[in-house]
Amino acid sequence: MVFSEKILQNVNVSYRNFSKNKIVNQAVSESSNNIQKSLKILLVLLTLGTFLAAGYFFLNQADPYTKQVLSLPGDRNKGEMIFKINCSACHGLQAGGMVGPSLLDVTKRMSKRGLIEQVTSGKTPPMPKFQASPQEMADLLSFLKYL
């Protein structure tokens, strides 16, 4: 019996060690999973923060012309005259669109910076580059706001 008791004792010790190791392994595994999740969340937050910071930086680094336009008060009536002389042939007298697209509610679809870029760049043919003075551009933006 002594021999079988020793075997049983060894089996019990082995089982307890196995159980302890299993619990420790589960705890380590859970801890490792939590660390991985935390690192993934941290990586996502850092990436998002980087994009937000870059966007803020680039938005605040507008060219001097755009900064000047945005700092000026626009005159809606002067803007309407500028529109009729320079834009209405393609966008229509009421800005409803012809060759060019409708500009009704355009300020709800585009930012002021986007409109300035669009008007001055001529990047979307057949629209020509429009080289307005900063005040003329501010006036035009003021008119576009009320379409």
Q: Could you read off the pLDDT of 3-32 as tens digits, one per residue?
A: 666 665 665 656 566 666 666 566 667 767
DSSP label at residue 110 = S
Q: Could you read off the pLDDT of 85-103 as tens digits, one per residue?
A: 999 999 999 999 999 999 9
Tokens 């626009």 belong to residue? 74
Q: Name the pTM for this structure.
A: 0.60
**Total Cβ atoms within 10 A of residue 45:** 10
**Non-local CB neighbours of 127 within 8 Å, separated by 6+ positions:** 90, 100, 118
The sign of the CA dihedral 88, 89, 91, 94 is: positive
